[in-house]
Amino acid sequence: MYNVAVIVGSLRKDSINREFARALAKLAGPGLKLDLVNIDALPIYNQDFDADMPAEARRLKAEIEAADAVLLITPEHNRSFSTALKNAIDWASRPYGKSSWAGKPVAIAGASGGNVGTAVAQQHLRTVLGHLDAAILGQPEVFFTFKPGLVDKDSNITDESTREFLRGFLNRLSGWIDLISRDRQPQAAAA
Amino acid sequence: MAKVAVIVGSIRKDSLNKKLAGALEKLAAGRLQFERVRIDDLPLFNQDDESNPTPEVGRLKKQIRDADAILFVTPEHNRSIPAAMKNAIDWATRPSAQSAFKGKWAAAIIGTSRGRISTAVAQQHLRTILSGHFTALLGSPEAYVQFQDGLIDDQGNVSDEKTQKFLQGFIDSFAALVGAAKPKNNT
């Protein structure tokens, strides 16, 4: 079983992206365990603290490093991904030489109420993760238009075709982790 | 004299971009009045608080509203803008009906770093983010300033003549845009 650290880019209480993340966690089969990572208590990134990182940033790094993969679920704010997500990514990328992202399998998804479905935000995110040398899952792209009732209060996805699409996404993520961990850790994969 | 709110995306003490902003302020003296906007004490953006923000957010929005134009001075962090810069923009633009950028026409982007990319990629992200908010976003010159030790001192003096001329040209273009873009009936 793979452990996936899920970072939701929205801090608001009734975030549709958190709802979406919970639905994905529920949809995931026994091979994939999705756990939400808390990012709302991080201070704003400041390079002056690289040498003596705040406890919250150290915890975030540890959670990312312990996971087999990271799933980033972002809203789109002003045609880019959220401040909270950029903040988490920047903290985890530091200090220099000790980034938590290098080689880490990462998948991206996002939900919004509009038709763009976070497509523009996700392109910015890909630029950043590419620079950080994360192993980014290319397809499927998940530009999710969130309509009321699509996820019920028990985190079930109510529409069958959406469920199938997202199941496919999670399967691809699982296969991607297989591939990357085989490539990077031959002994572990053989065991 | 037109007022320019200056947002520097780095919150570290010895920020190169703060030095760059200082140099630009000096070059603009007499034509554009620079007002530095403080962003290091803002909370992380949370939409739940947008209608009832902290006093620091209120101060940010007021400083922006009081200005005729905005200058964004950005470092590049991981091939995008810093969290601190995105945070200031997200707060300033929310809630959308009360965006502090509403009614603003002109803005410009500049940035410096030590590497050869010199914030070029971060600035493209920033253009995308700002394009929905400003009618007149200075297109040319693009200003990707490569910082070298001693290039700009803490008093805003530029040691290299070529860089000084380039920055002067940037300010000339920005001042012309601010003048041109400001509607005549908008006092």
Q: What is the pLDDT of residues A35-55, one digit of tens each?
A: 999 999 999 999 999 999 999
Mutation to test the A interface, candidates B15, B51, B57, B78, most A Cβ within 10 Å:
B78
Q: Is the pLDDT of residue B178 over 50?
A: yes
Q: Say whether A80 and B84 touch across the interface (CB within 8 A).
A: no
Chain A closest-CA separation from residue B45 CA (Å): 7
Nearest to B64 by CA among B75, B76, B72: B72
Provide the 3-class DSSP secondary structure of residue B183.
Answer: coil
Q: Say whether B80 and A127 touch across the interface (CB within 8 A).
A: yes
Q: Report how far apart, in Å, the C-alpha atoms of B86 and of each of A1, A131, A186, B104, B152 are.
A: 36, 19, 40, 18, 25
CATH code given to domain A2-184: 3.40.50.360
Mutation to test the A interface, candidates B44, B123, B130, most A Cβ within 10 Å:
B44
The pLDDT, as a whole number, for residue A29 is 87
Q: Is the pLDDT of residue B183 over 90?
A: no
For residue B171, give every residue at least 6 positions away whose Cβ sits within 8 Å of its Cβ, in sequence order, or none: B24, B27, B28, B31, B32
The pLDDT, as a whole number, for residue A182 is 83
Stretch 114-133 of chain B: residues touching chain A, C-beta under 8 Å: 121, 125, 128-129, 131-133
Q: Are A70 and A4 in contact (CB under 8 A)?
A: yes
Chain A closest-CA separation from residue B157 CA (Å): 24
In this prediction the pTM is 0.92
Q: How confident is the model at residue B187 (pLDDT cuts 50, 70, 90)?
A: very low
User: For residues A144 and A109, what is the distance between their CA atoms, to the nearest angstrom?
Assistant: 8
Domain locations in chain A as residue ranges: 2-184
Which chain B residues have a beta carbon less than 8 Å from that of A95?
none
The pLDDT, as a whole number, for residue A185 is 59
Report, as ranges of residue numbers, the positions in chain A whose pLDDT lies below 70: 183-191
Query: Does B45 lie at the interface with A, CB-CB under 8 angstroms?
Result: yes
Which chain B residues have a beta carbon less than 8 Å from that of A127?
79-80, 121, 125
Query: Does A46 lie at the interface with B, CB-CB under 8 angstroms?
Result: yes
